[in-house]
Amino acid sequence: MSNNLSNLITLGHSTSSPKVTRENLGNKGFILNEMIRELGLPVPPGFVIPVELCQLTLKEGWPEYLNRQIQVKILELEQFTGQTLGDPASPLIVSVRSGAAVSMPGMMDTILNVGLTPALVDSIERMTEDPLFAADTWLRFTSSYAALVLEIDHEALAPLSRSSDSVAGMLHAAENISRYARDNSETGIPGDPLEQIIGAIKAVFRSWESDRAVAFRSKENLSDIGGTAAIIQKMVFGNLDMRSGSGVVFSRDPLTGANKPSGDYVIRGQGEDVVAGGTAVSNLKALGDQNLKIYSELLEIIRTLEHHYRDMCDVEFTVEKGELYILQNRVGRRSAAAAIKIAVDMGTDTDFPLTQLEAARRVSEEQIQEVQKIRGVITDDFPFASGIPASSGVGSGELCLSVERAIQCRKKNRPFVLARQETSPNDIPGIIGAQGLITMLGGMASHAAVVARSWGIPAVTSLEETNLTEDGFMLQSILVPEGTTITVDGSRGEIFLGDLPTTVNEIPLELQTLLDWKTTEGPRGSSEIELFELAASPESTVAVLKIVKLKGMCTSDQISQALLASDTDSTKVISNCEEFLKKVGDYHSLSDVGRELLLTDLSEKQALIPIVDLEQLHQQFLELDSEFKSLVTDWQLTQEKKESDLKELHSRLEIITTEISRGLIQLENIDKTFRRYVPLFEIALDGIRDGDSSMIASPLKDSYHTLWFELHQELIDLSGMSRADLEK
């Protein structure tokens, strides 16, 4: 890796750059970049240290040149924001967050409020005229930096971090932490903001190898992901004043699938208060009551995100002094029942950009089986405790109050329910295998609830009128001790004594609709054309591997759609490609053996095309490429887009399609996979003609721009060049 050119990516970078991939920027960084560049959403400025540098530092240590690259990016951020690290008049404070190629909620570290120093605390107090904000933010920073960057044991920090809600109490606790860190670590909490940032980045990279992250990847079959990116952004403060707050919103109910937003919000809180599950939270009504204008703006943004990403979205946001900022978006994890309802609702909504075939493919056979097995309790008894229903289903087992006891139960094949005051990512080894999960605090958006839903574990959060002690649940004067068998009904948010009998719940009406779609393969529109009858042949194997190479990481469905092949055929071929592909959750990526096979195939194809013909074809493409980029850029920069603008763009893209199709004939004769481009361009054009502007340049579907980029990459490969050669 070069130490002369910066490997760091400023958020808002061109999405057509080969550096801007989900594998390189991580899922969080990739989507943040796209929300700025493509959607113009209010995302705090910043930059990304890509996954490849995490891999490098974990293997070889921290490279000195990276310090210089970070300094350059910080300088750019200072110039953009008008704030400066350590400047008492206008200090730049940042967040440092993790983000792997596949979302791993809460499994790696986040350090907020980085760049604060004791001197700046006094300055911020004077600037904001709010000593409570200054003290609260300083305590938050010292606690997280000591725990995550300096790796000071939680047991040692916990008593030091306790404080009253007074300014004096918070400052005293922060001083105790700082003193302990100074006496019990090599560096203490640095007074240099840049040194703090570098330390936080190192901690984020280290957290990739934490026990919880390793356990999560093992459970999710994500062993082949290469590391995490680090995202550095200007802080926005949800704890600034009573006009501020932080929250998480799901564009649809992740438990039931109902087409209405749901989520958690904390007035005068930071994001970790919501997702860590350690704070009592309110629902989104609290945001509407606080600021109806911001609430309406948020709803409009999540609608935009749903249509752009064509799926339910899980969005983290912060309100600072009445201004809304979007901090993260990812495809929302949901229960099996919600997955079915969401798929059917989206597939039947004529205004939603998802076909019934695509919607049916979203739901796995495992989810269908799970929803058919969801049960409800049979009892006339009242529950002994209730809270927020966070993950549907019923589970019974002995009450465990610690991760260690839960692990022992799992090893002995004894059913167990894990109960915690609040969950941290470190509880993941105890959540794996649980029949139920209970937390005293947190809401629908806490990491515990999100993970429980995706793993089909019944869960109840925010228990009412119940305390958790070292011995068990305390209800007024009655103790339910650890080891007691209890039943968790995650659908109703209720907890009962004993192992209660259950009955199968009513099957959702949407399930039959979905099964009908799966049986008939659903309406396919233009994509009904099948170019390939994939079989167990070298040609079919190469076709599949080429799609995976071009897309970096992709699902089986994406391979089928990109080749316009049947699901059945592509599944058979993919199953025979084990040595050539690596499985990363639901995604495929190339193995080293797969890359070698493609290189061999490329050499054979290059020998079949006269160099002069290839150069002529590439030159023709570059001329059209210049026109195409100009068209797309003009469209993206147009503030008020009219229907006539879209029609004009469609007409010009039709002409480009006709031109490029003539040049592809020779390539199609020697490599059948080139036959996919013209039909897929036409499908994209059909979408644009029908008013779906996402078919112009969305990177998450086979939009015109996505196809154009892939075709260009194939021509570059055939020419024996690289994109860097073209940029010289």
List pLDDT tens digits, range 60-101: 999 999 999 999 999 999 999 999 999 999 999 999 999 988
C-alpha span between 317 and 445 (Å, rounded): 12
Amino acid at 99: G
Q: Is the dihedral of CA 682, 684, 688, 692 positive or negative?
A: positive
Element containing residue 479 per DSSP (H, E): strand 478-481
What DSSP assignment string belongs to 373-423?
A: H-EEE--SSPPSEE-EEEE-SEEEEEEE-SHHHHHHHHHTT--EEEEESS-
Helix, coil or strand: residue 175: helix
HSE toward the beta carbon, residue 512, CA cutoff 13 A: 4
C-alpha span between 127 and 531 (Å, rounded): 65
Report the helix count and the strand count for the chain, using DSSP H and E.
29, 25
Residues in the chain: 728
Reported as a single tens digit per residue, the pLDDT across 231-267 is 999 999 999 999 999 999 999 999 899 999 999 999 9
Reported as a single tens digit per residue, the pLDDT across 440-470 is 887 777 777 778 887 889 999 888 778 888 8
Q: Which pLDDT band holds residue 523 (cuts at 50, 70, 90)?
A: very low
CB atoms within 10 A of CB 252: 24
Backbone φ/ψ region at 310: left (φ over 0), alpha (ψ -120 to 50), beta: left
- Greater model confidence, 504 or 69: 69
C-alpha span between 630 and 627 (Å, rounded): 5
* Percentage of the residues of the chain whose pLDDT score is greater than 90: 41
Q: Which pLDDT band holds residue 661 (cuts at 50, 70, 90)?
A: confident
DSSP 8-state secondary structure symbol assigned to residue 505:
P
Distant-in-sequence, close-in-space partners of 273: CB < 8 Å, separation ≥ 6:
246, 266, 279, 281
Q: Which of 115-129, 180-194, 435-449, 677-691 has the lowest mean pLDDT?
A: 435-449
Reported as a single tens digit per residue, the pLDDT across 153-207 is 888 888 888 887 899 999 999 999 999 999 999 889 999 999 999 999 999 999 9
Which residues pair with residue 375 across a beta bridge? Answer: 504
C-alpha span between 416 and 402 (Å, rounded): 11
Residue 228 has what pLDDT?
94
Verdict on whether the full-model pTM lies above 0.85: no
Element containing residue 256 per DSSP (H, E): none
* Percentage of the residues of the chain whose pLDDT score is greater than 70: 94
Residues 49-57, mean pLDDT to the nearest whole number:
92
- Greater model confidence, 214 or 195: 195
Say if residue 277's pLDDT is above 70.
Answer: no
* Nearest alpha carbon to residue 677 among 669, 668, 686: 668
Amino acid at 50: P
C-alpha span between 469 and 471 (Å, rounded): 5
C-alpha span between 511 and 494 (Å, rounded): 26
Helix, coil or strand: residue 578: coil
C-alpha span between 66 and 491 (Å, rounded): 49
C-alpha span between 559 and 550 (Å, rounded): 11
Tokens coding 236: 């926005």
Q: Which pLDDT band holds residue 298 (cuts at 50, 70, 90)?
A: very high
Say if residue 535's pLDDT is above 70.
Answer: no
Q: Which pLDDT band holds residue 16 (cuts at 50, 70, 90)?
A: low
Say if residue 526's pLDDT is above 50.
Answer: no
C-alpha span between 129 and 625 (Å, rounded): 55
Q: Which pLDDT band holds residue 522 (cuts at 50, 70, 90)?
A: very low
Q: Which of 276-280, 322-326, 613-617 has the lowest mean pLDDT?
A: 276-280
| CB-count burial class (<10 Å; 0-12, 13-18, 19+) for 293 | exposed
C-alpha span between 190 and 199 (Å, rounded): 9
Alpha helices (H) along 565-610: 567-575, 592-606
C-alpha span between 511 and 363 (Å, rounded): 10
Reported as a single tens digit per residue, the pLDDT across 547-565 is 988 888 888 888 888 888 7
Say if residue 431's pLDDT is above 80.
Answer: yes
Cα dihedral 346/347/352/354 (nearest 10): 110
Residue 197 has what pLDDT?
97
Distant-in-sequence, close-in-space partners of 410: CB < 8 Å, separation ≥ 6:
416, 432, 433
